[in-house]
Homo-oligomer: A and B are copies of this chain.
């Protein structure tokens, strides 16, 4: 039920609470969930499956196998994106599926140009480190999915957007994370490429004026998923401990009870 595989992908700091609370939740909790018809996740193994996918997910550049992208799998993955929440139920996203290698090569060439520009902006030491980091799998992945934002959808009275215009863009990102997790669960990888000029990508795909590209997602089967983020393995940047990111009641108040740093600092 909670074998070594499920254990190994969850940060060490979470193990005690997961082991005690999730994997061995006392049966009363579970019975209560079932009685009120609340949770269709029927046992701890299923809860662990969701956390497994969340913690195992990686931003993939180098591990795409190039194997076929089965349409039925792609449909399930994009349906997961389409099931995301959105401000005012506006569902302001669209998904453009790009298989054509000529289009993908053209986009890849643009991305590599932007990469050079970024490299030129770096100081020597950072520049050397950056040279060893791969930033895209546009051609090596099986398919590209460009996710876009339509700011006119459901306008003018988008319920929940009147004080914060960016909430429409926020909704698009929620769809992207659903896609990311569904792909991971399917045994695919996903890499979000953001080294591009929006106008270039908009022209490449014939986007109307009101449609803004938000992401180029490289998708497809992978040979494996790395245990740690590429940028951490390359020494670009290390992850921050959870306890630094959680504040009790007010900014800077320190973590609430239960969020103290774990043994490994996470």
**Which residue numbers of A lie inside 8 Å of B, CB to CB?**
5-6, 8-9, 11, 13-14, 17-18, 20-22, 29, 33, 36-42, 45-47, 49-59, 70-76, 78-80, 82-85, 87-91, 93-100, 103, 114, 117-118, 121-122, 126, 130, 133, 135, 148, 154, 157, 159-164, 166-167, 169-170, 173-174, 176-178, 180-182, 185-187, 192, 194-198, 205-208, 211, 214-215, 222-225, 229, 231-232, 236-240, 242, 245-252, 256-259
Contact = CB atoms under 8 A, between A and B. Distances in A.
Given A99-B249, A157-B121, A41 B47 contact: no
B185 A50 contact: yes
23 contacts: A5-B40, A13-B79, A17-B75, A18-B76, A36-B223, A45-B46, A47-B185, A47-B186, A51-B182, A54-B178, A57-B85, A84-B177, A85-B192, A88-B236, A89-B231, A94-B245, A94-B251, A121-B162, A126-B157, A148-B251, A159-B231, A205-B251, A211-B251
Contact of A76 (B22, B100, B117, B247): B22
B73 A206 contact: no
